[in-house]
Amino acid sequence: MTTLDRPERVLGLASADGQDAEALEFADALLSFLASARRTRGRMQPLFPDVTVPQLVLLDAIEECGADGVRAVADYTSLSQPTVTRSAATLERDGLVLREAADGDGRRRVLTLTPRGERLLAEKRAVVARQFAVAWDRLDAAERALAVPLLRHLSRLVDQLF
């Protein structure tokens, strides 16, 4: 059993009751969900023979905030700037990304998707959406009504915590 399987260790709670027990149960469920998401990300790779999952994550980040520069993409992905720069160079070589100087001295770079990069990202998102549609189909009407807003809200809360 890992620390992630025992949220009381993560939270520093030896025992809990009342509201603390509910918070612990929430932490346990959320940690379980996050662990499942990490495992799912790795299991998706066979669906993408022409691009890696980390490259897709970077393409998504570039679409989202690449116009704000490499630092913004690094912050968005929690990667180092050198890692983003190296990875973007590979994506540029493959014709998926353009790196352009954003200022006169060429130090600040903005990143944009090429039309080929946009198509690839859209195609792979559709593949992922088809996979996740299986889970959607297993939700009843009440769960569907809650799922999207709750997942978006939890994503914002988790982002704010760390």
Confidence of residue 41 (pLDDT cuts 50, 70, 90): confident
Which conformational region is residue 57 in: left (phi greater than 0), alpha (psi within -120 to 50 degrees), or beta? alpha
76 alpha carbon, distance to own chain's centre: 9
What are the Cα distances from residue 89, in Å, to 33, 36, 57, 81, 98? 33, 31, 15, 12, 9
Percent of the chain clearing pLDDT 90 (strictly above): 62
Q: What is the pLDDT of residue 106?
A: 67
Residue 20: what pLDDT?
85
Q: Closest by alpha carbon to 91, among 52, 34, 136?
A: 52
Which residues are CB-neighbours of 76 under 8 A, at least 6 positions away?
61, 64, 65
Asked whether the beta carbons of 6 and 27 are under 8 A apart, the reply is: no
Cβ(68)–Cβ(110) below 8 Å? yes
DSSP string, 67-107: GG-HHHHHHHHT--HHHHHHHHHHHHHTTSEEEEE-STTS-
In the chain, the percentage of residues whose pLDDT exceeds 70 is 86
Mean pLDDT, range 27-45, rounded to an integer: 88
48: DSSP letter? -
Record: fold of 50-162: Arc Repressor Mutant, subunit A (1.10.10)
Min mean pLDDT across 6-10, 43-47, 111-115, 144-148 is at: 6-10
| 52-75 per-position pLDDT tens digit | 999 999 999 999 999 999 999 999
Average pLDDT, the chain: 87
**Higher pLDDT among residues 159 and 18, named by residue:** 159
Predicted confidence band of residue 14 (pLDDT cuts 50, 70, 90)? very low
More confident residue, 152 or 8: 152
Residue 130 has pLDDT above 50, yes or no: yes
Q: Over range 134-148, report the average pLDDT.
A: 96
Mean pLDDT of the 103-118 span = 87
Q: What is the DSSP letter of 4?
A: G
